[in-house]
């Protein structure tokens, strides 16, 4: 088949697996493959942004209908609901423009050249893990790696066969008596559940393919296991069996690209000195994952409302410039400053001509209208894919934009990203009193926390897709008031059904200065405005989903606690004002 048209291929059923697809094909390229075509089959649910990134990486994208299993199969797969997404693999047989296709799951790392697979017979695949202890009775096809000769009509025949199999009575698979004894004596209780569930399998794509092609009874189709080695079995295969893995299959719910830096470090330490083969594969794989993520630079619009910030705006802009990040714009909106804030920005632009073209300065016009007006003007002018707000007296931490961009690239399914920050408290003379480091983690990824429990309305500790502010209709901030960002922030979270993701780095330094900030000028009269802000949140309940509506109801119940915090804050402000007046008296 020297003149045959060949391609590597995979399936992308959800946006979250995009990092896996990009890393799979990159790992194949690094083995000096002679195959030039890389095809990914997507369904109609995949985002346009995801398809754009695939094409930018030279990958051929084919959109095909999602194959939905019957209700009978879905009920049988209650223990394994993710199996319901695997039937999209049947679409591979529709790539009839190719004579031969080597299919690989998108969570596979290819460490050595595997072009020889194109010489194997149609439906060649691996009984993955069969030589690992306790698995000697395994004989099922694993569809993680397959050699396929596409043919018109096979896809439809497989779908029909799937329907036929769903009507069959499922029989219980029993383990060998000897294995069962080993099974319960050698495996921890935490793993017993997984092993028991193995014997109550539902129906996945592998069952249908194996049955349709009578795969078990055709040993010539059984590939060497080196082409599909589960990563956690790699050390046993290489050190005990002498099998050198060419394809490492990272099975499991948590994929390497979804691990936080802390989780990845913990994983590496657990493997060190115990599973060095797996650790080496993980290191090489994650390096490719991060290389891909860092290569894809997200475009940001940084919106900075400014009011009498002449002392701080220079430092804020310096922190932005220090990011050394190309794909961004900075939109500063002056809110009728009475000091030389605008002149400070102009001076910064003069002194930093290499950065000045990224800065756009606008005015709120019609006098002082509050930070909400500035943010609204910034949103109207923004062109970046993601919106980031920065107060004029705060700063971005080093590599903040790189860290946010990497997290976005590794979580393409998400629309909103929660940001950690450093809270620095200053005294009247601008001296640092204390620093509190606040990380963003599992709590901030909770919808209940963000919609129902988070009393902090700061919009600067989230980074969101600009499209969320524009569709289905414009989402903007209330003007000429305090707590203007609280209702907007809550509604922003209700606009996405996707998971919220935390950036595992502190990206901002927020300065708390007595009296001069918005929260520093709170008065008892502001209690009414906080109540109004929460009533605005209550008014969006008819437009949101039932779960979000329940979270908003919880917020209303907790409102007295929030008001108690406001009273406490006001008392502290009064004390600060008293101390400040005494300090000024002494200086006179």
The predicted-structure confidence for 4-45, as pLDDT tens digits, reads as follows 899 999 999 999 999 999 999 999 999 999 999 999 999 999
Range among 209-213, 511-515, 563-567 rated most confident: 209-213
Please determine, for residue 353, whether its predicted confidence score (pLDDT) is greater than 90: yes
CATH number at residue 435: 3.90.550.10
In a domain, 469, yes or no: yes
* Rounded average pLDDT over 239-263: 95
pLDDT over 90 for what percent of the chain?
65
> What is the band of 185 on the pLDDT scale with cuts at 50, 70, 90?
very low
The total domain count for the chain is: 2
521-524 long-range contacts, CB within 8 A, separation 24+: 521/573, 522/482, 522/566, 522/569, 522/570, 522/573, 523/570, 523/573, 524/567, 524/570
Residues 461, 403 share a domain? yes
Q: Which residue has the higher pLDDT, 311 or 519?
A: 311
H/E element, 300: strand 300-306
Instruction: Provide the residue range defining the domain that includes 157.
Output: 6-295
Give the model's pLDDT for residue 184.
45
Please determine, for residue 427, whether its predicted confidence score (pLDDT) is greater than 80: no
Please determine, for residue 506, whether its predicted confidence score (pLDDT) is greater than 90: yes
> What is the band of 283 on the pLDDT scale with cuts at 50, 70, 90?
very high
CB 375 within 8 A of CB 389: yes
Residues 304, 269 share a domain? no
Give the model's pLDDT for residue 529.
79
Residues 324, 245 share a domain? no
- The one-character DSSP state at 222 is B
Please determine, for residue 579, whether its predicted confidence score (pLDDT) is greater than 90: no
Please determine, for residue 527, whether its predicted confidence score (pLDDT) is greater than 70: yes
Q: Which whole-number Å values give the CA distances from 322 to 1, 138, 352, in the listed order?
A: 55, 56, 11
In a domain, 168, yes or no: yes
259-264 long-range contacts, CB within 8 A, separation 24+: 260/504, 261/504, 262/504
Q: Which residue has the higher pLDDT, 83 or 111?
A: 111
> What is the band of 179 on the pLDDT scale with cuts at 50, 70, 90?
very low
Give the model's pLDDT for residue 210.
95
Residues 271, 212 share a domain? yes
Q: Which whole-number Å values give the CA distances from 407 to 132, 253, 375, 494, 563, in the listed order?
A: 36, 19, 24, 21, 35
CA nearest to 40, candidates 26, 54, 30, 29:
54
Last residue of a domain, one of 473, 505, 521: 521
Give the model's pLDDT for residue 448.
87
Write out pLDDT tens, residues 289-327. 999 999 989 999 999 999 999 999 999 999 999 999 999
Residues 458, 399 share a domain? yes
> What is the band of 176 on the pLDDT scale with cuts at 50, 70, 90?
very low
The token pair at 38 is: 């890389």
Please determine, for residue 112, whether its predicted confidence score (pLDDT) is greater than 90: yes
| Concatenated DSSP letters of 148-197 | E---TTHHHHHHHHHHHHHTSPPPPP---HHHHHHHHHHS-HHHHHHHHH
The token pair at 461 is: 């500790």
d(CA 185, CA 563): 58
CB 1 within 8 A of CB 118: yes
Last residue of a domain, one of 295, 317, 336: 295
Give the model's pLDDT for residue 50.
96
For residue 267, the tally of other CB atoms under 10 A from its CB is 17
CB 389 within 8 A of CB 459: yes
In a domain, 268, yes or no: yes
Please determine, for residue 265, whether its predicted confidence score (pLDDT) is greater than 60: yes
Q: Which residue has the higher pLDDT, 405 or 168?
A: 405
Beta strand pairing call for 300-306 and 247-249 = unpaired
> What is the band of 565 on the pLDDT scale with cuts at 50, 70, 90?
low
Please determine, for residue 519, whether its predicted confidence score (pLDDT) is greater than 70: no
Q: Which residue has the higher pLDDT, 68 or 10?
A: 10
CB 8 within 8 A of CB 104: yes
CB 124 within 8 A of CB 102: no
Please determine, for residue 183, whether its predicted confidence score (pLDDT) is greater than 50: no
In a domain, 574, yes or no: no
Residues 238, 308 share a domain? no
Residues 220, 354 share a domain? no
Last residue of a domain, one of 521, 541, 570: 521
Instruction: Considering only CA atoms, give the Rg of the chain.
Output: 29
Give this prediction's pTM: 0.86
CB 234 within 8 A of CB 242: no
CA nearest to 197, candidates 80, 73, 85, 84:
80
- Reported as half-sphere exposure (CB side, CA atoms, 13 A), residue 426 has a value of 16
Residues 336, 228 share a domain? no
Please determine, for residue 516, whether its predicted confidence score (pLDDT) is greater than 60: no
């Amino acid at each position: 088949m020297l003149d045959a048209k060949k391609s590597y291929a995979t399936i992308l059923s959800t946006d979250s697996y995009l990092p896996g697809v990009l890393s799979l094909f990159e790992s194949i390229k690094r083995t000096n493959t002679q195959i030039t075509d890389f095809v990914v089959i997507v369904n109609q649910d995949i985002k346009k942004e995801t398809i754009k990134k695939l094409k930018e990486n030279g990958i051929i994208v084919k959109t095909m209908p999602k194959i939905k299993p019957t209700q009978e199969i879905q009920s049988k797969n209650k223990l394994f609901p993710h199996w319901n997404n695997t039937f999209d693999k049947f679409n591979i047989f529709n790539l009839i423009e190719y004579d031969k296709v080597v299919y690989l799951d998108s969570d596979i790392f290819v460490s050595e050249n595997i072009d020889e697979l194109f010489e194997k017979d149609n439906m060649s695949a691996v009984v993955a893990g069969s030589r690992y202890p306790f698995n000697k009775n395994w004989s099922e096809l694993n569809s993680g790696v397959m050699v396929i000769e596409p043919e018109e009509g096979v896809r439809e025949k497989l779908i029909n066969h799937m329907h036929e199999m769903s009507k069959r009575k499922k029989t219980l698979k029993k383990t060998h008596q000897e294995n069962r004894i080993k099974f319960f004596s050698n495996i921890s209780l935490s793993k017993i559940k997984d092993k028991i569930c193995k014997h109550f399998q539902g129906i996945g794509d592998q069952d249908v393919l194996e049955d349709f092609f009578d795969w078990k009874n055709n040993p010539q189709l059984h590939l060497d296991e080196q082409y599909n080695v589960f990563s956690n079995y790699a050390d046993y295969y290489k050190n005990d069996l002498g099998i050198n893995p060419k394809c490492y299959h990272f099975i499991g719910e948590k994929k390497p690209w979804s691990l936080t830096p802390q989780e990845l470090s913990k994983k590496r330490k657990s493997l060190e000195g115990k599973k060095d083969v797996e650790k080496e594969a993980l290191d090489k794989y994650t390096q490719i994952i991060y290389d891909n993520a860092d290569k894809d630079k997200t475009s940001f619009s940084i919106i900075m409302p400014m009011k009498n910030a002449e002392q701080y705006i220079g430092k804020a802009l310096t922190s932005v410039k220090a990011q050394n990040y190309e794909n961004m714009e900075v939109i500063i909106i002056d809110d009728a400053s009475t000091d030389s804030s605008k002149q400070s920005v102009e001076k910064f632009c003069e002194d930093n001509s290499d950065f000045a073209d990224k800065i756009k300065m606008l005015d709120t016009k019609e006098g002082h209208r509050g930070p909400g007006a500035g943010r609204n003007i910034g949103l109207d002018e923004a062109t970046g894919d993601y919106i980031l707000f920065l107060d004029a007296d705060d700063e971005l931490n080093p590599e903040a934009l790189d860290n946010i961009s990497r997290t976005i690239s590794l979580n393409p399914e998400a629309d909103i990203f929660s940001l950690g920050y450093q809270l620095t408290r200053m005294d009247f003379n601008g001296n640092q009193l204390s620093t509190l480091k606040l990380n963003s983690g599992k709590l901030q990824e909770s919808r209940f926390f963000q919609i129902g429990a988070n009393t902090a309305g700061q919009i600067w500790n989230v980074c969101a897709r600009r499209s969320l502010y524009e569709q289905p209709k414009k989402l903007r901030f209330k003007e000429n008031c305090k707590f203007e960002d609280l209702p907007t922030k809550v509604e922003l979270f209700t606009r996405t059904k996707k998971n919220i993701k935390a950036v595992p780095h502190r990206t901002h330094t927020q300065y708390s200065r007595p009296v001069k900030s918005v929260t520093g000028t709170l008065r008892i009269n502001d209690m009414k405005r906080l109540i109004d802000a929460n009533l605005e949140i209550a008014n969006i309940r008819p437009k949101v989903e039932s779960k979000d509506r329940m979270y908003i109801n919880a917020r209303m119940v907790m409102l007295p606690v929030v008001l108690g915090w406001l009273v406490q804050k006001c008392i502290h402000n009064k004390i600060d004002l008293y101390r400040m007046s005494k300090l000024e008296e002494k200086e006179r």
